[in-house]
Amino acid sequence: MKNILYIASEAVPYIKTGGLADVVGTLPRYIDKRYYDVRVVMPRYTSMTQEMKDSLTYVTNFYMDFHWKREYVGIFEGENEGIKYYFVDCEDYFAGWSPYGTDVPFEIEKFSFFAKAALSILPVVNFRPDIIHCHDWQTGLVPVYLKERFQGSEFFRGIKAVMTIHNLKFQGRWNKDTVRDITGLPGYFFTPDKLEIFGDADLLKGGIIYADAITTVSETYAKEIQMEFYGEGLDGLLRARSGDLRGIVNGIDYEEFNPETDRFIAQRFNQVNFRKEKVKNKTALQKELSLTVDEKRFMIGIVSRLTDQKGFDLIARVLDELCHDEVQIVVLGTGTEQYENMFRHFAWKYAGEVSANIFYSEELSHKIYASADAFLMPSLFEPCGLSQLMAMRYGTLPIVRQTGGLKDTVEPYNRFQSAGTGFGFLNYNAHEMLRTIRDAEALYYDNRREWNKMVDRAMQVDYSWSVSAKKYQEMYDWLAP
């Protein structure tokens, strides 16, 4: 039996701000419990719901030297779907209405404390992992501390560390002297071959250097981040460590995202009966959102953060043009004010054909996945992306830019071979995107038999966590034979 410890800043069902929480909260459930004991450490945020806080049990507390003072460390534990969770409690750092704030030095201090505390609680709870699996910059100091001050202890000697990069854009980078003061690391850690980058200190860089293995969330993204355009200043380091770097595509929870059992959708359906039943979701959503009720109208869904990274500058260029086609557009999400207002404007200008839902709703997202004919995701970069996997699960064909995980998971339509599970375009160009959307429209309106065969293929693809979990297990076995 191998002991695996996940350390992360968020996990469902306890707290979620993005896809990281889905990965950390779901993946451990699919790791084979006969051979691996997987547990999770995360902060005990005061912003967790009262129900979640009430589900936790107090274990003990101690005081830890951190940032020139003795800092309280409380330990709570909980269990979710057979996985044990440990929570690091300290209101000095984890109070507030949100897990993350905008004060960068405080965020660096908060997650430096968390990294040290997460390691310090292990002898107390009597769990010695063979492998510690760290997620994103918030845990970047875990491999550093593990090698720097915990290796002297018999308990920690020989523990391996994995660093998973969910999005390289976020690195925990700040003034070198401030970070040195906060972390208590010796000065020789702040050199270009260690934590220093362009005169600053970088927590994620530390994690990448001191980890025994590095993963990211798709094979293509693993290649892209070794290039200057996607590398965010770390491409040279990632090329140097390419032998230890692998891409493993995220999965989705096939129980939660299941058109046969989904409690949120108007009409349940499956791969056999989608031709008759799926369209009932479309007409129900059209009524709910005050769109023109027309089951034959080509509906494009968008569920996303409304930011440049997600390709909304491309959409802004051609949206007026697109709205003159025989299409309906349903948008759900929040983000940059200019894009929120853009969709509000077009929903007013093209009332009945565009629906702008500038908020987030789990229920409405499921309805869009089940109702739309196509799902638009023209990202500038996309480490993995989950929305395209959810869309395919519901027979909604993704229209994507071929980058990162979108390239790895969506096979572009090939009319000569009657193959594909969606539509793709290569260059970050608004009119290339528009042409691809119109190719999808043409197939939908002019060759419904071919369209339905594609829906059938998309619904057949398996991107469940069980597939990804096997690849993580292979890596764990390679690291700790």
Residue 388 lies in a domain: yes
475 lies in the same domain as 455: no
Say which amino acid occupies 305.
R
Q: What is the pLDDT of residue 331?
A: 98
**3-state SS assignment for residue 468:** helix
9 lies in the same domain as 60: yes
- How many angstroms separate the CA atoms of 21 and 389, rounded? 17
187 lies in the same domain as 286: no
Q: Containing domain of residue 247, as a range?
A: 2-251+466-479
Residue 263 lies in a domain: no
| Interacting residues of 327 by C-beta distance below 8 A, sequence separation 6+ | 297, 298, 299, 300, 353, 441
300 lies in the same domain as 403: yes
- Evaluated on CA atoms 468, 469, 472, 478, the torsion sign reads negative
Residue from 397, 421, 400 nearest 299 by CA = 397
- How many angstroms separate the CA atoms of 402 and 443, rounded? 20
Q: What is the pLDDT of residue 17?
A: 87
205 lies in the same domain as 284: no
- Evaluated on CA atoms 262, 264, 268, 269, the torsion sign reads negative
Question: The pTM is what?
Answer: 0.93
Residue 129 has pLDDT above 90, yes or no: yes
DSSP summary character for residue 244: G
**3-state SS assignment for residue 370:** helix
For 201, list phi and psi in degrees, rounded to 5.
-110, 145
180 lies in the same domain as 305: no
Quick: pLDDT tens for 133-175. Answer: 999 999 999 999 999 989 889 999 999 999 999 999 999 999 9
Kindly state the tokens that stand for 390. Answer: 């959810």
Domain count for the chain, please give it: 2
221 lies in the same domain as 321: no
- How many angstroms separate the CA atoms of 142 and 148, rounded? 10
447 lies in the same domain as 475: no
28 lies in the same domain as 78: yes
Quick: pLDDT tens for 106-121. Answer: 999 999 999 999 999 9
Residue 265 lies in a domain: no
Furthest-apart CA pair in the chain: how many Å? 70
Quick: pLDDT tens for 385-394. Answer: 999 999 999 9
Quick: pLDDT tens for 390-445. Answer: 999 999 999 999 999 999 999 999 999 999 999 999 999 999 999 999 999 999 99
- Pair 391, 409: CB distance under 8 Å: no
Residue 283 lies in a domain: yes
Residue 268 lies in a domain: no
Residue 32 lies in a domain: yes
Residue from 102, 185, 93, 176 nearest 144 by CA = 185
Question: Left (φ > 0), alpha (ψ -120 to 50) or beta: where does 364 sit?
Answer: alpha
75 lies in the same domain as 195: yes
Question: What mean pLDDT value characterizes the chain?
Answer: 96
Strand duo 196-197 + 200-202: pairing: antiparallel
For 124, list phi and psi in degrees, rounded to 5.
-70, -40
Share of the chain above pLDDT 90, in %: 97
Which residues are registered as beta bridge partners of 133?
6, 162
- How many angstroms separate the CA atoms of 38 and 29, rounded? 8
**3-state SS assignment for residue 355:** strand
CATH number at residue 399: 3.40.50.2000
Omega before residue 13 within 30° of 0, cis:
yes
Residue 264 lies in a domain: no
**3-state SS assignment for residue 95:** coil
Quick: pLDDT tens for 13-56. Answer: 999 988 899 999 999 999 999 999 999 999 999 999 999 999 99
Mean pLDDT of 437-454: 98
233 lies in the same domain as 192: yes
